[in-house]
């Protein structure tokens, strides 16, 4: 069962209570200020300012208060593992992926080993959350990280991605397999040295993650921690996110060269237009080979193409 706890400021708590007031239930537990029950989610507000969402709809409900409000931005969505207090200063292999939300281009996953005695060095390189860094800086810093630390970098190109997707693999399963493989590669590289922990930037609950891997020949399971926003918990995950992003950019460069214009990132309306253009200039097979074909963008591009280019 999904269980999400948000620490929210009073003004947001009041909004939560007002929002669920007509679904209010009476629950007399220690420290409980308010409780409500939807068909698929229970909401409990504590005097401490914590709000717990429990059940199948937990993420959907929590999202309304955990992300949308700027005052609540800092509150972490807690659904991962209990973490050691000194995690940031330990020797860790971190892993992260990128490209999952981009219509064009691959999924890339990186795992990086940052031992305790290199944490400072990696921080000095300017490593932080790759989402806060521009592409130019990412390209430079990624090379510095790769020269300093053992790492593994995997690229799942569109052709293979589409093949797996057609076989029924979810994106979650593909990601799990790539993380597991990259982590295994780094463990092999650094053996007999071992990290204190392995830290995965979490994209699935632990049970779901290992269920994706149930048929894997090698399974990295020892001392594995899963946590969301892990790039802020240990520099190894931030480093991994930078290398993954770097690999994604390199692939996009190659593909853009092939077409003579820069392929659009993301999955928005500009992507639809570009995909329609490629349908016109290169045809469907080419578009399939550079895209995540099952995304809604494909259908939108086909409609645009019919409207614009065929009469
Ligand atoms: Mn991530």
* 274-311 pLDDT tens trace: 999 999 999 999 999 999 999 999 999 999 999 887 65
- DSSP-derived 3-state class of residue 1: coil
pLDDT band at 167 (very low <50, low <70, confident <90, very high): very high
| pLDDT score at 82 | 85
Give the distance (Å) from ligand 1 centre to CA of residue 8: 23
Mean pLDDT of 1-16: 84
* 75-106 pLDDT tens trace: 344 467 888 999 999 999 999 999 999 999 99
Mean pLDDT of 261-275: 93
* 70-83 pLDDT tens trace: 333 333 444 678 88
Q: Say yes or no to pLDDT of 182 above 80.
A: yes
Give the distance (Å) from ligand 1 centre to CA of residue 234: 13
Give the distance (Å) from ligand 1 centre to CA of residue 201: 5
| pLDDT score at 269 | 93
Give the distance (Å) from ligand 1 centre to CA of residue 244: 10
Helices (H) and strands (E) in the chain, counts: 11, 9
Tell me the backbone φ, ψ of residue 225, rounded to 5 degrees: -115, 140
For the whole model, what pTM was predicted? Answer: 0.74
Strand order, beta sheet including 3-7: 3-7, 50-55, 41-46, 32-37
Give the distance (Å) from ligand 1 centre to CA of residue 227: 10
The conformation of residue 78, written as its DSSP 8-state character, comes to B
Nearest to 131, CA basis, from 265, 276, 310: 265
């Amino acid at each position: 069962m999904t269980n999400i706890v948000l620490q929210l400021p009073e003004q947001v708590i009041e909004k939560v209570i007002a929002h669920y007031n007509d679904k209010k239930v009476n629950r007399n537990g220690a420290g409980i200020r308010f409780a409500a029950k939807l068909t698929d989610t229970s909401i409990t507000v504590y005097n401490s300012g914590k709000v717990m969402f429990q059940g199948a709809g937990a993420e959907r409900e929590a999202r309304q208060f955990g992300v949308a409000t700027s005052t609540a931005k800092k509150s972490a969505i807690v659904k991962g593992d209990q973490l050691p207090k000194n995690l940031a200063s330990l020797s860790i292999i971190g892993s992260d992926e990128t490209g999952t939300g981009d219509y064009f281009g691959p999924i890339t996953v990186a795992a990086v080993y940052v031992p305790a005695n290199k944490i400072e060095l990696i921080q000095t390189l300017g490593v932080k959350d790759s989402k806060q860094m521009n592409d130019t800086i990412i390209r430079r810093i990624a090379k510095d990280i790769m020269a300093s630390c053992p790492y593994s970098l995997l690229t799942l190109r569109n052709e293979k991605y589409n093949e797996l997707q057609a076989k029924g693999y979810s994106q979650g399963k593909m990601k799990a397999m790539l993380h597991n493989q990259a982590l295994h590669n780094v463990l092999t590289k650094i053996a007999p040295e071992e990290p204190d922990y392995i830290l995965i930037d979490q994209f699935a609950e632990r049970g779901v993650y290992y269920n994706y891997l149930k048929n894997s020949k090698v399974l990295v399971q020892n001392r594995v921690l899963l946590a969301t926003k892990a790039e802020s918990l240990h520099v190894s995950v931030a480093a991994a996110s930078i290398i993954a992003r770097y690999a994604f950019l390199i692939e996009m460069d190659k593909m853009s060269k092939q077409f003579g214009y820069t392929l659009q990132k993301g999955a928005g309306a500009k992507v639809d237009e570009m995909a329609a253009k490629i349908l016109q200039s290169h045809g469907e097979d080419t578009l399939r080979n550079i895209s995540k074909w099952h995304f809604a963008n494909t259908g939108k591009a086909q409609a645009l193409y019919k409207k614009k280019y065929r009469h």
